[in-house]
Amino acid sequence: MTSTGIGRRAASGTTGFLKRSQPRYVEKAVRVLLIAASLVSVLTTVGIVIALIPPAAEFFGKVSFGDFITGTDWSPLFKPPHFGVLPLVTGTLMVTLIALLVAVPLGLGAAVYLSEYARPGVRTFFKPILEVLAGIPTVVYGFFALQAITPLLQDIWPGGEGPQVFNALSAGFVMGIMIIPTIASLSEDAMNAVPNDLRDGGFALGSSRMQVATRVVFPAALSGIAAAIMLGVSRAIGETMIVAVAAGGRPNLSFNPLEGMQTMTAFIAAAGIGDLPTGSIGYQTIFAVGALLFVMTLVMNLVSIRLVRKYRQVYE
Amino acid sequence: MDNHALGKGPDADILEARRLKGDGSPWRERFFQLSLWASLAVGVVFLGSLLTYVVVEAWPRLDLRIVTNFPDIIDPSQAGAQSAIMGTIWVIAFTALYCLPVGFLTAIYLEEYAEPDRWWNRAVEINIQNLAAVPSIVYGILGLGIISRGLGFGQTVLTASLTLSLLVLPTVIIAAREAIRAVPQSIREASLALGATQWQTIWRQVLPAAVPGMATGSILALSRAIGEAAPLLLLGGLTFITFNPTGPDSPFTVLPIQIFNWISQSRAEFVSLAAAAIVILLVILLAMNSLAIWLRNRYSHRW
Amino acid sequence: MASPSEAPVSASGTSVPQVSYRDAPPLITPVFEVGGLSVFYGDHEAVRDVNMTIGGRQITAMIGPSGCGKSTVIRCFNRMNDLIPTARVAGKIRYHDEDLYGRDVDPIEVRRRIGMVFQKPNPFPKSIYDNIAYGPRVGGFKGDLDDLVEETLTHAALWDEVKDKLKTSALALSGGQQQRLCIARTIAVKPEVILMDEPCSALDPIATAKIEDLMEHLAQEFTIVVVTHNMQQAARVSHRTAFFTTDVGAEGERHGRLIEYDETARIFSNPSDQRTEDYITGRVG
């Protein structure tokens, strides 16, 4: 900026005046820093895998994978120990199933309402409530399930034996409520991505609002809705505190929702609390069950991410 | 339905009336809408009763003891959650220190530098989306196997905050990316056309405009970390602790874990205590969320 | 100054008001020499084989129907197309005999010499003062910023309107004032060339007239290249005009082409290409 006057003549005649005499070190350093920061998330995944594999491998050196995956008795800290993971898997699936029975209809109902019916004023009332539901710590959900929902169920249970103090039903129910925001907001995104032309087409053919919602918008948003449900399943499988508090700590190969049962996550938490010595088989079970949990949720997540990309490609 | 002006025969009238009513009966239509509305109402009712229940349960113990006293197993009437409250503050402060810079820098890279067609950038993106949905207890396993025992950081504030940083990192990245994306392209073009470098453009134009959104998203992400208990169970958070942390190498407990601890006790006094601690936890979260919303409204740009 | 010429006749047969065209200074000192320029977005060739020479200290207008590639071409002159990852440039643009797309050319240096004003006024969400000072600041300006801001705003005929509110937000200005601020911001960097990409398309006629006055005034010291969809504007302010249109290839692919480039008076009164004549007389839009 040495020239006087406003107009500046380019230094014509001297070649190379558009080149930079010295490299822009700051720009280069920033780029390196940014890439390094981005690698942290990659390293997190690598770290998870590295954390899981060696102890899990040692575990499967002692216990055959077949026994692990088909065994029906899980008592790793007893003598003699049994390492059949099925009770934890069925416990997880039971609670997840109950949660989905609650969350899928309610979450989708909420999404259809918010996307197809609600006036802006109604939206600004309900959306924050869903956000609050999503923001409540899960240990609080667990507390509510154990202290309020279970006694309530025991009181109103019609005849026969009611739910036990720890049971899959209460835990699954509050977990379902917890997942509603996940399913509702992702499904609503998918429905909002459906172009209005399609709706107008439906209305022009004389369809009612309900027919447009169920026969036009819902099918068009199906891959996004499927993604939302998959993510909900992933969250249910991975949720720890609700089941640790309300579903009990006893591995139980049962399909009775009124009984207590231990999930994979609740087992990991319980074993982790025990501060087991590194290298012991008890310590290694954490990683074996953890690896199974990680793989199950990974599959769900990847399918979900795929489905979301698919609907984005179609409509955006 | 008084559309008889065309003077048709009775058949035409019926046809006309039916057309204006639609195929589905209005009764079904009403019921459908009502059940949609009820889906939302369930959530509202649940939230209302949860909050009411917690406050009612907590009422006998909602006084200063919960803040000034330390946990006490023998005498619940003298027990408080001070070490857990201070532990939460320590752990979250360090979590913010680690995850916010890394999260912001990653978001800047993905939004401003990365070419989306490149396979490695797509891989980074999918990886972040997956990490956002990895169960929190798996992060606990990462913290236990690598940070606590592998690196030998032990059951300390440092281990807990590093673990929680990795846990909320994807959330921070996703929120910060949205805030950066909301800055109009025309601002970047204007800056570059004036001979600013890419980093000058980001530092002097994009970031100042994106900071309110980034702050809002970060606070919400950190409030998720505050409520998180599962991973810390594996990192020694449940140890009986009756003193406040003094540094990153201190043992720790946090509010959600203290709550879990008290829920697990059989005596009824501990239920009130747990409820009181929940109220404290919810108040902290409410304060953080209010701050986030205030920031969003106060500094949101109109373009 | 003005050379009277025949008024063009529009399609409906009504006569366009008499326009006085400006004499084009000779192209003694070419600023840009464009040879065989093609621009690709991915596999699509958006602009094909443009050849033209742009002279210094005059206004060159680029006109043509929308989608004809005129904005794409002007964005090549200060390498703004670099920001689009899929964009690729073939052919040559020489700026004072220097290859703009040469291997070691620094786009930052290029943009400090060749500024740009955009279609929609895009002031930074900062004060008027900071908008003007931004370019010099990032360029490492060491002198007195206050003086520079005053000098620049005076030069852009904006000083009297804003001198009492330099510290207020630029977003509070009217659209026309914002665009003049954006022009002022550009000259604060002391470039040689100012590129303007439809600078008046978002403005009302009065604001447009002020910008046109400013352009004429600035052309005494700067080289201005302006893309416009407004033919009257091109006819009023420019010395030379380039007419672009869209060619449809054998397989239905569309390329922007430079059809005719000449002194403005000639383009509007006696074009040599039928397509130019059809366009300026309004037979095709």
* pLDDT tens-digit readout, C167-215: 999 999 999 999 999 999 999 999 999 999 999 999 999 999 999 999 9
Contact assessment for residue C267 and residue C6, using Cβ atoms and an 8 Å cutoff: no
- What is the C-alpha separation between C128 and B287, in angstroms, rounded? 37
C68 within domain boundaries: yes
C151 within domain boundaries: no
Q: Find, among C227, C224, C234, the residue nearest to C265 by Cα.
A: C234
Q: What is the pLDDT of residue B245?
A: 87
Residue by residue, DSSP assigns C147-168 as: HHHHHHHHHTT-HHHHGGGTTS
Q: Which domains does chain B show, CATH number per domain? A: 83-254 (1.10.3720.10)
- The domain segmentation of chain A, as residue ranges, is 88-315
C118 within domain boundaries: yes
pLDDT confidence tier of residue B20, bands split at 50, 70 and 90: low
Q: What residues contact residue A110 under an 8 Å CB cut-off, 6+ apart?
A: A126, A130, A180, A184, A188, B36, B39, B40, B43
Mean pLDDT across C219-244: 93
B262 pLDDT higher than 50: yes
Which residue of chain B is at minimal alpha-carbon distance from C136? B194
Q: What residues contact residue B279 under an 8 Å CB cut-off, 6+ apart?
A: B54, B55, B58, B62
C165 within domain boundaries: no
Length of chain C: 285
Q: What is the pLDDT of residue B6?
A: 44
Which helix (H) or strand (E) is C224 found in, with range? strand C223-227
How does strand C59-63 pair with strand C240-248? parallel
**Domain count for chain C:** 1
CATH number at residue C84: 3.40.50.300
Q: In B, residues 126-185, which contact C (CB 8 Å cutoff)? A: 184
B21 pLDDT higher than 80: no
Q: Tell me the shortest Cα–Cα distance from B10 to chain A, in angstroms.
A: 22
Q: Which residues pair with C54 in a beta bridge?
A: C32
Contact assessment for residue C183 and residue C211, using Cβ atoms and an 8 Å cutoff: yes
- What is the C-alpha separation between A199 and A112, in angstroms, rounded? 13
Mean pLDDT across C42-58: 92
Q: What is the pLDDT of residues A266-291, one digit of tens each?
A: 999 999 888 788 888 889 999 999 99
Q: What is the pLDDT of residue A14?
A: 56
Higher pLDDT, A309 or A87: A87
Q: What is the pLDDT of residues A130-170, one digit of tens each?
A: 989 999 999 999 999 999 999 999 999 887 788 999 999 99
Give yes or no for A9 touching C (CB within 8 A): yes
Across the interface, of C115, C124, C185, the residue whose CB is closest to B205 is C124
Q: Tell me the shortest Cα–Cα distance from A246 to chain B, in angstroms.
A: 10
C108 within domain boundaries: yes
Q: What is the pLDDT of residues C71-106, one digit of tens each?
A: 999 999 999 998 888 899 999 999 998 999 988 899
- Please give the structure tokens belonging to residue B46: 């649940």
Give yes or no for C108 touching A (CB within 8 A): yes
Mean pLDDT across A25-47: 95
C9 pLDDT higher than 50: no
Chain B residues within 8 A of A305 when measuring between CB atoms: 126, 129-130
Across the interface, of C98, C106, C190, the residue whose CB is closest to A8 is C190
Tell me what percent of the residues of chain A surpass a pLDDT of 90. Answer: 66
Higher pLDDT, B301 or C167: C167
C227 pLDDT higher than 90: yes
Task: Please classify residue C194 by burial: count the beta carbons closer than 10 Å to its beta carbon, then call 0-12 exposed, 13-18 middle and 19+ buried.
Answer: buried
How does strand C30-41 pair with strand C44-55? antiparallel
Which helix (H) or strand (E) is B22 found in, with range? none
Q: What is the pLDDT of residues C123-147, one digit of tens each?
A: 999 999 999 999 999 998 999 999 9
Q: What is the pLDDT of residue C19?
A: 63
Q: Find, among A34, C171, A51, A189, the residue nearest to B147 by Cα.
A: A51
- What is the C-alpha separation between B99 and B170, in angstroms, rounded? 9
The CA-CA-CA angle for residues B28, B31, B36, to 5°, reads: 130
- What is the C-alpha separation between C262 and A106, in angstroms, rounded? 69
- What is the C-alpha separation between A55 and B181, in angstroms, rounded? 42
Q: Tell me the shortest Cα–Cα distance from C75 to chain B, in angstroms.
A: 10
Chain B residues within 8 A of C120 when measuring between CB atoms: 186
C156 within domain boundaries: no
A80 pLDDT higher than 90: no
Query: A185 to each of A114, A182, B215, how far by Cα in Å?
Result: 9, 6, 22
Q: Tell me the shortest Cα–Cα distance from B126 to chain C, in angstroms.
A: 21
The class (CATH top level) of A88-315 is mainly alpha
Across the interface, of A10, A13, A16, the residue whose CB is closest to C113 is A10
Give yes or no for C131 touching B (CB within 8 A): no
Give yes or no for B122 touching C (CB within 8 A): no
Query: B29 to each of A205, B25, B42, B134, how far by Cα in Å?
Result: 17, 6, 20, 40
Domain that holds residue C246: 2-10+30-122+191-280
A9 pLDDT higher than 50: no
pLDDT confidence tier of residue B240, bands split at 50, 70 and 90: confident
Length of chain B: 303
Return the minimum-mean-pLDDT range out of A241-255, B191-205, C19-33, C202-216: C19-33
Q: What is the pLDDT of residue B29?
A: 87
Which residue of chain A is at minimal alpha-carbon distance from B167? A44
A3 pLDDT higher than 60: no
B303 pLDDT higher than 70: no
- What is the C-alpha separation between B64 and C222, in angstroms, rounded? 73
- Please give the structure tokens belonging to residue C179: 């665009």
**Main-chain dihedrals φ then ψ at residue C9, nearest 5 degrees:** -110, 130
